[in-house]
Amino acid sequence: MNQQRRSLLKYSAVFGLMASAGLISVAQAQEWNKAAFEGKSLEDVFKILGAGSPDKSGAVTLNAPDIAENGAVVPVGIVTTLKAEQMAILVEKNPSSLAAQFFIPAGTEPFVTTRIKMGQTSNVYALVKADGKWSMAVKEVKVTLGGCGG
């Protein structure tokens, strides 16, 4: 076997290992919480997440528009001064309340923004777990019927 081919095989073996290592760590990351994402009501999801009855806290800010021009894309952000380890976005009137959740390692800011679908005007909840305690913020987001224009 010539030198070039040997190096090529060595590199592909290394890349193969790295790739599988990457795949393994994706699986290791908190397994997708099926029960939580299937929870129909807020109370169901609070219970499954172990959030009990979270207190409203001024330390949690939910960034969301007052009106969304279209319910298919509603920008929602959570930011908090608490040392968040876990953050979740819930939509009260969606068929399943939990839209997304995030696990925040040390060194990452307690700040996340994404976009969610809302079936209708509803309260949106930002849940934050910090030091084992759950807090929340709520905001009503109006969803328009969209339009024909634009």
Partner 1 sequence: MQRKFTLGLAISISAALLIVSSSVSAQNSATDDIAKYREMIADGNPSELYEAAGEELWKKPAGPKNATLEKCDLGLGPGVVKGAAAQLPRYFKDTNKVQDLESRLMTCMQVLQGRVPQEMIDAPFQKGPKKDMEAIVAYVVTLSKGDKIKVSTAHPKEKEMYELGKRAFFFQGGPMDFSCASCHGEDGKRIRLQDLPNITTQKGAAMGWGYWPAYRVSSGQFWTMQQRLNDCYRQQRFPFPIYASDVTIALSMYMAKNANGGTVETPGLKR
Partner 2 sequence: MADPMRVRAAENGGIVDVKILMKHDMESGQRKDTAGKTIPAWFISTINVKANGKDVLNGQFGPAVSKDPFLNFKYKGAKGDKIVVSWVDSKGDKRTDEATAS
Nearest-5° Cα angle at 103, 136 to 118: 55
Q: Which is nearer to partner 1, 26 or 148 (CB)?
A: 148
Examine residue 32 and tell whether it contacts partner 2 (CB under 8 A). Answer: yes
Nearest in space to 61 (alpha carbons), one of 110, 106, 105: 110
Instruction: Tell me the longest C-alpha to C-alpha distance in the chain.
Output: 68
Chosen residue from 67, 81, 83, 119 binding partner 1 by CB under 8 A: 67
The structure tokens 């709520």 sit at 138
12 lines the binding site for partner 1 (CB under 8 A):
no
CA atoms of 4 and 85, how far apart (whole Å): 48
CB of 7 to partner 2, least distance (A): 23
Exactly one of 69, 120, 133, 140 binds partner 1 (CB under 8 A); that residue is 69
Q: Which is nearer to partner 2, 5 or 15 (CB)?
A: 15
